[in-house]
Amino acid sequence: MTRVHNFSAGPATMPVEVLQELSDELVEHGTSGQSVIEMSHRSPEYEAIHTETLDLLRSLWAIPDGFEILLLQGGATLQFAMVPMNLAPEGTKAGYINSGVWAAKALEDAHRVADAYQAWGNSGEGLARMPQASEVGVEPGTAYLHVTSNETIGGVRMVDFDGFDVPLVGDMSSDMLGRPINWDRFDLVYGGAQKNLGPSGLTLVVARSDVLDRADQKVPNYLRYSFHSKANSLANTPPTFSVWAVNKVLKWIGSKGGVQAMEQRAIERSNMVYELIDSSNGFYVNPVEPAYRSHMNIVLQPSDPSLTNELITEADDAGLINLKGHRSVGGVRVSIYNGMPNDGVEAVVEFLSSFAQKRG
């Protein structure tokens, strides 16, 4: 078997060890005589997987007892509406840091269901960055401030979450369990699993217990966090295969040293790419202010943009796939989530260096 190095922004590369385990156990889980994807979500076999997954999440990410963990469907995109529907009832406001494409989409949906406003916006002028807390204009009556911890398309990250005097809601789709966080700052964190945690189909929501019943009664049951919390995320059929796969990825993360080790690994590996960019004598350009550069999604472009398609084509031929930047911005994007092996990072750095030398 020859595997390519897949730099997709999501669904993303998973650890080969996990894929092999899934393959080995796909037809029969343990001695159950059936596959996990065939099991009733009410069966004791699946409930054991479900409960263990919740326990692993709480342990690995150091989630305090005062928070509920929900395993939902609909992707982070559904949370763009669920968050304001649940946490910003009539009479309150919701503030948004508009730091890029995904933050803008969250704000757009919030406008539809709540009194939402932009507390800070990245104008796109100069270097891409995140705001300092002192730059964010929080209005009176604000129930929460929404932040996108890592903009997957723009390659910019929120460095820390301190200094705000209002509870935070975090879209952490692209660095979830890739960094520890201070839970005291948050009322809710959410993200899709398909980048750092497993396959698509599962959305993780971690919410402070005392905010779960804040939604108005007019909010439909399925869109209420309390509906899912009271049923232990089993109110309807969950994405059982995705939960099972995430269970195995969580164990893999634990075997590699946990979330702190994932963060250090992400810093070291992203720095390898940034050092290549910064030492290319201007051949490659990264538009993000260095202090705010993403550890997960490195965006770059040749200073001669006409070389971009050639670079991507040659990379594909070399087994380095999905390096094309998002269609809205173009360029090149190197996504190196938890599941990317070190030799994949080394291979893309070597390729980018060689491409620059041949053209430079």
Q: What is the pLDDT of residue 64?
A: 97
Q: Which of 109, 115, 171, 175 is catalytic?
A: 171
pLDDT-derived band at 72, boundaries 50, 70, 90? very high
pLDDT (mean) for 330-334: 94
The verdict on whether 102 is a catalytic residue reads yes
Give the rounded percent of residues in the chain with a pLDDT score beyond 90.
94
The one catalytic residue among 61, 93, 102, 187: 102
Are 101 and 212 contained in the same domain? yes
- 183 as an active site residue: the answer is no
Q: Extract long-range pairs of 182-187: CB within 8 Å, 24+ residues apart.
A: 183/62, 183/63, 183/64, 183/67, 185/161, 186/161, 187/87, 187/144, 187/211
Q: What is the CATH number of the domain that holds 155?
A: 3.40.640.10
Structural domain boundaries enclosing 299: 258-359
Q: Are residues 126 and 94 in the same domain?
A: yes
For residue 66, tell me if it sits in a domain: yes
Number of domains in the chain: 2
Domain boundary among 255, 270, 296: 255
* pLDDT beyond 90 at 328: no
Assigned domain for 21 exists: yes
Same domain, 251 and 264: no
Asked, for residue 1, whether it belongs to a domain, the answer is: no
Residue 242 is predicted with a pLDDT of 97
Q: What is the pLDDT of residue 82?
A: 97
Whether 60 and 207 map to the same domain: the answer is: yes
**Is 188 a domain residue?**
yes
Domain boundary residue, one of 255, 284, 302: 255
In this structure, of 15-29, 105-119, 121-135, the range with the lowest mean pLDDT score is 121-135
* 208 domain residue, yes or no: yes
Determine which of 12-16, 259-263, 291-295, 323-327 has the lowest per-residue pLDDT on average. 323-327
If you average pLDDT over residues 294-299, what whole number do you get? 97
Residue 4 in any domain: the answer is no
- Single out the catalytic residue among 109, 115, 195, 248: 195
pLDDT exceeds cutoff 70 at 307: yes
Same domain for 266 and 136: no
Q: Closest Cα partner for 72 from 251, 277, 235?
A: 235
Looking at 198, 228, 255, which one is the last position of a domain?
A: 255
DSSP alpha helices (H): ranges in the chain? 16-25, 44-60, 75-87, 101-113, 225-230, 240-255, 259-278, 308-317, 342-359
pLDDT at 2 over 90: no
pLDDT tens column, 140-179? 999 999 999 999 999 999 999 999 999 999 999 999 999 9
**Residues 46 and 115 occupy one common structural domain:** yes
Q: What digits encode the pLDDT tens for the residues 176-212?
A: 999 999 999 999 999 999 999 999 999 999 999 999 9
Can you give the CATH number for the domain in which 344 is found? 3.90.1150.10
Domain assignment present for residue 9? The answer is no
What's the predicted TM-score (pTM) here? 0.95
Q: Determine the pLDDT at residue 126.
A: 55
